[in-house]
Amino acid sequence: MRTLYVEGRSVLHRMPPRAKLLGLATASIVLFATRSIPLLGMFCVASAAVYLLPRLAPREAFERLRPVLLTIVVVGLFTLLFDSAIEAAVFVLRLTSLMLLAAAVTATTGISAFMEEITRLAMPLERIGLVRAADIGLAVGLVIRFVPEVLARTQAIRDAHHARGLKPRMLTLAVPMIILTLGSADEIAAAIDARGLRGQN
């Protein structure tokens, strides 16, 4: 899996992840506190400038935003049609700004920096006995390790369908994929416990 992180040395890259996340949270509160269109417009332009700080290639920069931008535009048009132009403008400017800022944080924060921050944030939850902070990193690592495996299995099941002259359908694809994948859970769990990765149970 390719991550959405972009190598670089911009101001945003050098900022600690916590500061970026707090900044994003503050921005979202500010954005939803105001309804003034000029203010939101300025905010949107400033967000676009922040998004361009890490210097992505223009094409790549646009491609990343396209799916979210598309839903914003569609819902914006819907609002324009069924509500007022002012409501639609407020909505589009708010969400576009937020999307740009969020995408900037994603492009400048690596997976490991994020995981460190999340593990630290989960510490209070560990103290009240809700989760073990270290389990979060372990689970994320497991998923990243097994996605290619599950994908290869799905491809094999699809090939098996073709070999029998069957058309692969959602149901006949999903059931063997789920049973095969979950069937290896015991082995993986035993391997994790044998290495003492989760400490004493």
Closest to another protein by CB, 42 or 189? 189
Q: Going residue by residue from 19 to 38, which x/- string records binding to another protein, judged by CB under 8 A?
A: -----x--------------
Distances 47 to 96, 114, 133 between C-alpha atoms, Å: 9, 21, 33
Question: Which 115-134 residues touch another protein, going by CB under 8 A?
Answer: 115, 118, 132
Q: What gap in Å lies between CA 139 and CA 145, rounded to an integer?
A: 10
Point out which span in 1-9, 36-44, 54-62, 159-167 binds another protein (CB under 8 A).
1-9
Q: Going residue by residue from 161 to 200, which x/- string records binding to another protein, judged by CB under 8 A?
A: ---------xx-xxx-xxx-xxxxxx-xx--xx----x--
DSSP letter assigned to residue 54: T
Closest to another protein by CB, 11 or 143? 143
Closest to another protein by CB, 3 or 55? 3
Identify the CA nearest to 91 among candidates 106, 76, 112, 113: 76
Residue 65 contacts residue 99 (beta carbons within 8 Å): yes
Distances 95 to 117, 118, 122, 177 between C-alpha atoms, Å: 25, 25, 28, 37
Question: Which 40-79 residues touch another protein, going by CB under 8 A?
Answer: 64-65, 67-68, 71-72, 75, 78-79
